[in-house]
Structure 1
Amino acid sequence: MRYTQVMPRLRSCDARRCNPALSLTMLRSFLLLTSFTALLQATDSTTPGEISTPFPTINHLAVEWQIDGDDNLNATCAVRYRQAGVVTWQDSMDLRRVPASASQETKPIITWTNRLSGSVFDLKPGTAYEIELSLRDPDGGEATRIIQASTRPEPVAAKDAVIKSGTKADLNSVKPGQVLLLEDGDYGAVRFTRDGEPGSPIVYRSTSGKAVFSEVGMTDRKWVYLEGVTVNGPVRMNNTDHCVVRRCRINAQWGIKAYKPGMMNGCIEDNIITGIQPWEPEIMGASGDNDGEGIQFTGSGNVIRHNRVTGFRDCISHMEDDGAVPQMCNDILNNDISTGLDDGIEADFALHNCRILRNRLTNCFVGISSQPGLGGPNYFMRNVMFNLTYSAFKLHRFSQGDVILRNTVVKAGDGLGIYTSEPFDHALIQHNLFIGGKAPTTKFNGFSLGRGRAVDVQRFGKHCVFDYNAYATHGLPFEGKIGSWTFQKLPGKDFEAHGMEVALDVLANPVFPDDPMRLYEPPDLRLKGGSPDVGAYADDEALPIYGPRP
């Protein structure tokens, strides 16, 4: 905000021509107005506060820098980082500006503070880093800080672990630092009762996959790892800390569950989790008869990576409303997801620095949900989605702080359709590839695929950015709508000043889901050579590993 002072000119005076009391009054008024104006101007300047690095994960670090002021939201913070002991700095993404605010119509109402916040991505596990933060505000306020933080190490058994064989009778006699190799057999329903220790976890491992359980209870456990078993029922992880489920086969209506008080610093990786729900239009959506969750959890600092999850209402899901504890700094990475009857990934009620990266989603009602994001930033980057019967991104319930970068979406109907009467805000949507097109008239439990626009997003706040995206409409004339602007060509002015129209053949393998009721195999959605710099893959980039690693 800018204020212009308009003051009467003060003439010089002496006792013969001026009233001294009047002159003193005018001087006091001038000083008071000057002080008040300076105070108003100061709200646009930035005063830096405390810096924190909450919940380090295996490959990512979050940074939160509390501030006062900057009412006009133009403060920025550049980020560089380097491994401890290394001379050369590397650039990272700038921190995002997060104004203090509160959720709307949630139970309970959740508030967040005025700050700059963001993540440093794809770091080495168990490594110390220096992070340089450079805050700048053209209205006043400048600071540079260097902080130290370390990623978590890979959660593996201790190098000097004692390895022994055992059966069900030995499950609760294992000590910290020991690996129990499970003999083949039917273990029924079990609940573990012993904790490991930092650096000395308790590991239950099957090397054949033939140690079979009907249910596994890890509730209240710390530093317990479950590896390579088969579970024909749920794995319960309520109130766990630094626990791991790795390379298991889980067949159940409810796969892995971590309800309040939740799972903290957990790792769920390289599992195959299979549910019971079929791909049928009448059971899709939030109101569908499709109960069952693949991985459902609340808590912070968790890593959910390289799982194959198929046949659930929500394949990977946060908890919502009063079922959630604070959900921040969770990583959902490189999962292979299909047949999600409501959401492929439900990242609802994420506070900040949840990172949903490099997932592949095929045959889902909604690709990724953020309803709502609670201030953010929460990152949705380099995900690929094919054959979605409703929407790629569901930013409902007044979501704030969604960062949607370099995703590839190919679906019948609207390429990017966000249909809500509860506008989202502070979203950054850039460098994505959205391909929509001609769709059948089939309804999916009352919902449609959209009319085939490149984009249809009408309700959002004034702080949102849409730019540098590429769009296509297969089998229909090119058209899109952003806010009140309906367009038939790009680039635009207020939105998509650098946006572009492409065609389906921008893909090296131009495939389109003409029949959304068909269960498609995940296609290769890399671009052909010389294509624009958009979407999930760079030129000549190898496909990431989706799902369990070899």
Structure 2
Amino acid sequence: MMMAMCATERRRPHAHFTRWLLMAGCVLASSLQIHAQGETPPRNDVVAGELLIERPTLISLGFEWRIEGDANGNATTIVRFRKAGDVQWRDYLPLYRIGLGLKIQNSMIGRGAYYEIPDALAGSIMDLEPGTEYEVRLELRDPDGVSGEAVRSLRLKTRSEPVVPATPVEVRHVYPPDHKGDKEKPVFENIMHAVNGYPPICDTYQTIHPFAAKPGTVIKMHAGVHTYDNNLYWKDGKPQFSYWLHGTITLVASGTAEQPIYIVPAGDGEVILDGAGAHNLFNVRSADYLHFEGLTIRNTDIAFFGGFQGERGGGCKGLTVRNCWIENVVYGVLAQDGRSEDFTLTDNVILGRNPADRLGHFGSTTAGYAVNLSGQGHAVAHNYAANFWDGINVFTSALADPKYGQQARAIDFYNNDIHNCSDQFIEADGGFANIRMLRNRCFNCPSQPLSIQPVHAGPVYWIRNIVWNAGGGKMTMKNNNGAQVLLFLHNTSSTHMKMPPNNGQKPEQGTWIIQNNLSIGPAGDFPLLEYCEGAAGPNHVISHNAYNKAAENAPCLINKKNVGNLAALREKTGYEAGSLFVDGYDVFAHAPEPPHTKRNAPLVFPDDVDLSLKPGAAPVDTGAIIAGINDGFTGKAPDIGALELGWPLPVYGPRGGFYLERLKNLRQGHNTP
């Protein structure tokens, strides 16, 4: 078998496609004004500029290397890395070209406010180990010549997983208000008292106090239901220690990156923090490095609020929420300020208010997201999220222009288990660069399941995600405002590969790498695939995908124009080399065709489906080799789809926690835990 082309290579377009591009280029050239005498023409060689290193996450490093020149857009960056102390270097995906004169809306709703993407090469190294030092070597290359410092050698470290210390700086105890019996000392009235240093009494919310918790303090929450009557001001001649009137726990004392302030169970039973209908339970927008772990949080609109965009004092840093059960909420974590940094949101169960027994509910309660955030350096991983409008999102209206301090970049969503959303499972909307979605499992959604409207520049990475029973089977990606650099690799879906129109970027301005995807959409009156404006570009690699044989004669669309079936598209563009048709759902170990139905329909549960490939199925050993993405494949070539035959299955959702038996019930289709 001929080995497939690596995605890092730039292939020569098909002859017909080349003529198409030449004709388009002639039209473009005729519309340009001739340079005035003495004016410096665009230069094709590249000049190395500033290298921007993004905030690391637990598993990723991100880069943006500014350049000058390279008017023809053929510069690239070779990426190699190794763990510090290792001998062998590993090859990885390159950095990708952004800029090239592309002007985009400053935000999705910022009509008329344009921002020009700077000339640079951007990209990530992913799936690294937390808290580990790496050596990275970046080499700038251009066939037209390179000047400046063309090779950069770096020593960088990923963020470490937050861990509650065995020996705290201080311990403070909080008991539920109805607790009877002895109490460990020092004891505090409630969380605000323990963290801020002063108890909220009636309408006195003193948040600045000398007795505030110091960095490294552990707040031990004792078993029971911690709830308060938010309308109770005075009782039996005494002022009440409650969150009077609004029910919000406003925290302002901060830890540090090395020593957060920890709010954790004391170990004597389940700790339930009941919001009693409060709009917002935890307001953490003015507190940095708070660590919440092992708690049950319920009955509030917003469990954790990190601030709206641009608020004075907004944008908290280092928020950790781990191993928590969060239920009956509109938002699990809402943090829309781009000054937010380094969140760790892992191993939580987050349950919204939409009905848990039907698909895509619409109505007065339909709202909210499990996670919605902006900023940089975030890791959102191994969560179970269900019954929301959207699952896990970047903030759609994050701004492109860095002068406002409201960019969203260097964000990881991985190994999340997302179920029953009314709109999208995951939105990268609003991201600027290095937005990374890896190994997420997504079941049941009536709308377009994934979204990039817009990712301002890119890259945006979608790698080894699963989408099942979504979009009526018609569409995988909502792409109305596009991404300049898109990588869509090794995904499995029960939908067709449809990515409708984007922001109209010129073909030569974009880079799309779409390979090794298993798209088993239904037979019917749907396009097999649709690529949008800008798709017919020389930098794109679209190959080695697999489609449902039942849709073999379905049309393929580019720029909304029907170019015929897959064979006709391949002949015209050279795309889809190595792509094939497979026997539908029979390629899987056990996966009956989902109903592809719309709203208020029965759900499909992950425990009833096994999307592993059958040995000998057509997608096995027929994929493209992609450096750093499918290293260690088990056969003659990588498999097409999210799950490589012979590899251990990914862990989707929480890896542990006090609630695992409850979660098992939910995953098996029981509506209550």
TM-score (norm 1): 0.84
Classify 1:288/1:93 alpha carbon distance in 2 versus 1 (closer, same or farther; 3 Å): farther
Classify 1:133/1:322 alpha carbon distance in 2 versus 1 (closer, same or farther; 3 Å): closer
Does residue 223 of the first structure (1) align with residue 289 of the second (2)? yes
Contact 1:179–1:202 (CA<8 Å) still a contact in 2? yes
User: 2:492 is matched with which residue?
Assistant: 408
The 3-state SS of whatever aligns with 1:353 is strand
User: 2:306 is matched with which residue?
Assistant: 237
Does residue 527 of the first structure (1) align with residue 633 of the second (2)? no
Contact 1:308–1:337 (CA<8 Å) still a contact in 2? yes
Larger deviation: 98-107 or 305-314?
Answer: 98-107
Which one has more relative contact order, counting CA pairs under 8 Å at least 6 apart? 2
Deviation of the 1:401 alpha carbon: 1.6
Larger deviation: 344-353 or 466-475?
Answer: 466-475
Contact 1:492–1:499 (CA<8 Å) still a contact in 2? no
Separation in structure 2 between the aligned mates of residue 421 and residue 115 of structure 1, nearest angstrom:
21
Deviation of the 1:261 alpha carbon: 5.0
Separation in structure 2 between the aligned mates of residue 355 and residue 288 of structure 1, nearest angstrom:
32
Separation in structure 1 between the aligned mates of residue 361 and residue 339 of structure 2, nearest angstrom:
29
The 3-state SS of whatever aligns with 1:237 is strand
Deviation of the 1:86 alpha carbon: 2.3
Contact 1:507–1:528 (CA<8 Å) still a contact in 2? yes
User: 2:522 is matched with which residue?
Assistant: 437
Separation in structure 2 between the aligned mates of residue 491 and residue 525 of structure 1, nearest angstrom:
29
Structure 1 segment 90-489 matched on structure 2, within 5 A:
90-100=90-100, 101-104=102-105, 106-107=109-110, 108-141=113-146, 143-161=150-168, 162-167=170-175, 168=190, 169-173=193-197, 174-188=213-227, 189=247, 190-206=249-265, 207=267, 208-214=269-275, 215-232=281-298, 233=300, 234=302, 235-238=304-307, 239-251=315-327, 252-261=329-338, 263-278=340-355, 290-321=366-397, 325-364=406-445, 365-389=447-471, 391-411=475-495, 415-420=496-501, 422-423=503-504, 425-438=510-523, 451-463=525-537, 465=540, 467-473=542-548, 475-483=550-558, 484=561, 485-489=563-567
Contact 2:543–2:578 (CA<8 Å) still a contact in 1? yes
Classify 1:262/1:256 alpha carbon distance in 2 versus 1 (closer, same or farther; 3 Å): farther
Deviation of the 1:106 alpha carbon: 4.4
How big is each residue's C-alpha offset from its partner over 1:167-195, in whole Å with a ceiling of 9 and x where there is no partner?
Answer: 32534343321222201233334222311
Listed as ranges, the gaps of 5+ residues in structure 2 are 1-34, 176-189, 198-212, 228-246, 276-280, 308-314, 401-405, 623-638, 657-673
Deviation of the 1:280 alpha carbon: 5.9
Contact 1:478–1:489 (CA<8 Å) still a contact in 2? no
Classify 1:106/1:67 alpha carbon distance in 2 versus 1 (closer, same or farther; 3 Å): farther
> What amino acid is the match of 1:526?
S
The 3-state SS of whatever aligns with 2:471 is strand
Separation in structure 2 between the aligned mates of residue 87 and residue 282 of structure 1, nearest angstrom:
52
Deviation of the 1:94 alpha carbon: 1.1
Contact 1:472–1:478 (CA<8 Å) still a contact in 2? no
Deviation of the 1:343 alpha carbon: 0.9
Larger deviation: 209-218 or 362-371?
Answer: 209-218
Does residue 548 of the first structure (1) align with residue 657 of the second (2)? no
Name the structure where strand makes up a greater proportion of residues: 1
Contact 1:255–1:293 (CA<8 Å) still a contact in 2? yes
Separation in structure 2 between the aligned mates of residue 297 and residue 85 of structure 1, nearest angstrom:
36
How big is each residue's C-alpha offset from its partner over 1:316-375, in whole Å with a ceiling of 9 and x where there is no partner?
Answer: 112223689210000111100011111101110111011111100000222211101111
Contact 1:79–1:91 (CA<8 Å) still a contact in 2? yes
User: 1:502 is matched with which residue?
Assistant: 582
Classify 1:222/1:421 alpha carbon distance in 2 versus 1 (closer, same or farther; 3 Å): closer
Deviation of the 1:270 alpha carbon: 0.7
User: 1:538 is matched with which residue?
Assistant: 644
Question: Cα RMSD over matched residues?
Answer: 2.6
Deviation of the 1:159 alpha carbon: 4.6
Classify 1:209/1:466 alpha carbon distance in 2 versus 1 (closer, same or farther; 3 Å): farther
How big is each residue's C-alpha offset from its partner over 1:212-245, in whole Å with a ceiling of 9 and x where there is no partner?
Answer: 2312222211111011112112221222101101
Deviation of the 1:469 alpha carbon: 3.4
Classify 1:230/1:503 alpha carbon distance in 2 versus 1 (closer, same or farther; 3 Å): same
Deviation of the 1:488 alpha carbon: 4.9
Contact 2:545–2:576 (CA<8 Å) still a contact in 1? no
Contact 2:251–2:286 (CA<8 Å) still a contact in 1? no
Separation in structure 1 between the aligned mates of residue 548 and residue 89 of structure 2, nearest angstrom:
42
The 3-state SS of whatever aligns with 2:449 is strand
Separation in structure 2 between the aligned mates of residue 509 and residue 466 of structure 1, nearest angstrom:
31
User: 2:233 is matched with which residue?
Assistant: none
The 3-state SS of whatever aligns with 2:79 is strand
Separation in structure 1 between the aligned mates of residue 549 and residue 223 of structure 2, nearest angstrom:
52
Classify 1:478/1:461 alpha carbon distance in 2 versus 1 (closer, same or farther; 3 Å): closer
* Equivalent in 567, 570, 584 of residue 492 of structure 1: 570
Contact 2:399–2:430 (CA<8 Å) still a contact in 1? no
Classify 1:313/1:323 alpha carbon distance in 2 versus 1 (closer, same or farther; 3 Å): farther
Separation in structure 1 between the aligned mates of residue 360 and residue 409 of structure 2, nearest angstrom:
34
Classify 1:118/1:261 alpha carbon distance in 2 versus 1 (closer, same or farther; 3 Å): closer
Separation in structure 2 between the aligned mates of residue 512 and residue 133 of structure 1, nearest angstrom:
45
Larger deviation: 137-146 or 160-169?
Answer: 160-169
How big is each residue's C-alpha offset from its partner over 1:432-483, in whole Å with a ceiling of 9 and x where there is no partner?
Answer: 11111136xxxxxxxxxxx344323354443363522323336555424041
Classify 1:480/1:59 alpha carbon distance in 2 versus 1 (closer, same or farther; 3 Å): same
Separation in structure 2 between the aligned mates of residue 281 and residue 124 of structure 1, nearest angstrom:
37
Deviation of the 1:489 alpha carbon: 4.1
Classify 1:91/1:269 alpha carbon distance in 2 versus 1 (closer, same or farther; 3 Å): same
The 3-state SS of whatever aligns with 1:71 is coil
Larger deviation: 506-515 or 162-171?
Answer: 162-171
Classify 1:70/1:389 alpha carbon distance in 2 versus 1 (closer, same or farther; 3 Å): same
The 3-state SS of whatever aligns with 1:257 is strand
Contact 2:318–2:342 (CA<8 Å) still a contact in 1? yes
The 3-state SS of whatever aligns with 1:492 is helix
TM-score (norm 2): 0.69
Q: Give the total of aligned pairs.
A: 499
Larger deviation: 168-177 or 498-507?
Answer: 168-177
The 3-state SS of whatever aligns with 1:51 is strand
The 3-state SS of whatever aligns with 1:255 is strand
Separation in structure 2 between the aligned mates of residue 402 and residue 73 of structure 1, nearest angstrom:
16
Separation in structure 2 between the aligned mates of residue 544 and residue 421 of structure 1, nearest angstrom:
32
Separation in structure 1 between the aligned mates of residue 260 and residue 459 of structure 2, nearest angstrom:
33
> What amino acid is the match of 1:378?
V
Contact 1:336–1:360 (CA<8 Å) still a contact in 2? yes
Contact 1:343–1:368 (CA<8 Å) still a contact in 2? yes
Separation in structure 2 between the aligned mates of residue 185 and residue 288 of structure 1, nearest angstrom:
32
> What amino acid is the match of 1:518?
P
Larger deviation: 221-230 or 391-400?
Answer: 391-400
Larger deviation: 312-321 or 375-384?
Answer: 312-321
The 3-state SS of whatever aligns with 2:367 is coil
Separation in structure 2 between the aligned mates of residue 308 and residue 377 of structure 1, nearest angstrom:
26
